[in-house]
Amino acid sequence: MTINRQYDHKFKFMMLGDAGVGKTSIARRFVDEAFLHTYIHTIGIDFLEKVVDLEGKKVLLQIWDTAGQDRFRTLIRPYYRGAAGMIMVYDVTDEKTFDSIEEWMRCIAENTQECQIIQKVILANKTTCPIIELRLKTAGNWPPSTEWTFLKALPKKATASQRPFYN
């Protein structure tokens, strides 16, 4: 039996963050190249895939869009294993979502292996809102760890929505 793969490499990305921060909007914008203004909350995990061309190689990106509600956090922890990237999303208009980043980071540290090489991105979402300047400035200097890259998300713009997945 021959398996016909349509890609050269495969990488798993986890979309993490509190409920309502826009994880699904960002993932759908990247995969479907469309922006919808309304979504329902993710229950458990939603799974998306996209094949991209990187340096002449076909790369399958698996995006695991996780539910942000507390009741689902224990359900999603086993899915951290094998992830090549963690994309931590917070809503710049909701300070509570920024404050919970440390809790998500602790959960990642507890549920991944030390030898696991993970690209880590903190993604500030809803950055077109006028009240965001202070939270972006604070987040841009935080966390002090060089393990994390800070980016701004603009799901309404296709090119900006690709950055977390290609970073």
146 domain residue, yes or no:
yes
How far apart, in whole angstroms, are the C-alpha atoms of residue 39 and residue 77? 23
In this structure, what DSSP letter does residue 114 have? T
- If we measure between CA atoms, which residue out of 164, 166, 152 comes closest to residue 15? 164
What pLDDT, on the 0 to 100 scale, is given for residue 15? 92
pLDDT at 143 over 70: no
pLDDT at 79 over 50: yes
Based on the structure, what is the number of domains in the chain?
Answer: 1
1 domain residue, yes or no:
no
How far apart, in whole angstroms, are the C-alpha atoms of residue 111 and residue 90? 20
What is this structure's pTM? 0.79
Q: Where are the beta strands (DSSP E) in the chain?
A: 9-16, 45-54, 57-66, 85-91, 119-125, 148-152
Q: What is the mean pLDDT of residues 54-81?
A: 81
Q: What is the mean pLDDT of residues 23-27?
A: 88
111 domain residue, yes or no:
yes
Structural domain boundaries, residue 85: 9-166
How far apart, in whole angstroms, are the C-alpha atoms of residue 85 and residue 131? 29
3 domain residue, yes or no:
no
pLDDT at 1 over 60: no
143 compared with 11, residue with greater pLDDT? 11
4 domain residue, yes or no:
no
144 compared with 120, residue with greater pLDDT? 120
2 domain residue, yes or no:
no
Q: What is the mean pLDDT of residues 48-53?
A: 93
Sequence-separated (6 or more) residues with CB below 8 Å from residue 7:
51, 58, 59, 60
Query: 54-58, 63-67, 114-118 — which one is most confidently predicted on average?
Result: 54-58
For residue 83, the domain's CATH number is: 3.40.50.300
15 domain residue, yes or no:
yes
Residues counted in the chain: 167
Residue 16 pLDDT level (bands cut at 50, 70, 90): very high
Instruction: State the amino acid at position 126 in one-letter form.
Output: K
Mean pLDDT rounded to a whole number for the chain = 78
What pLDDT, on the 0 to 100 scale, is given for residue 4? 65
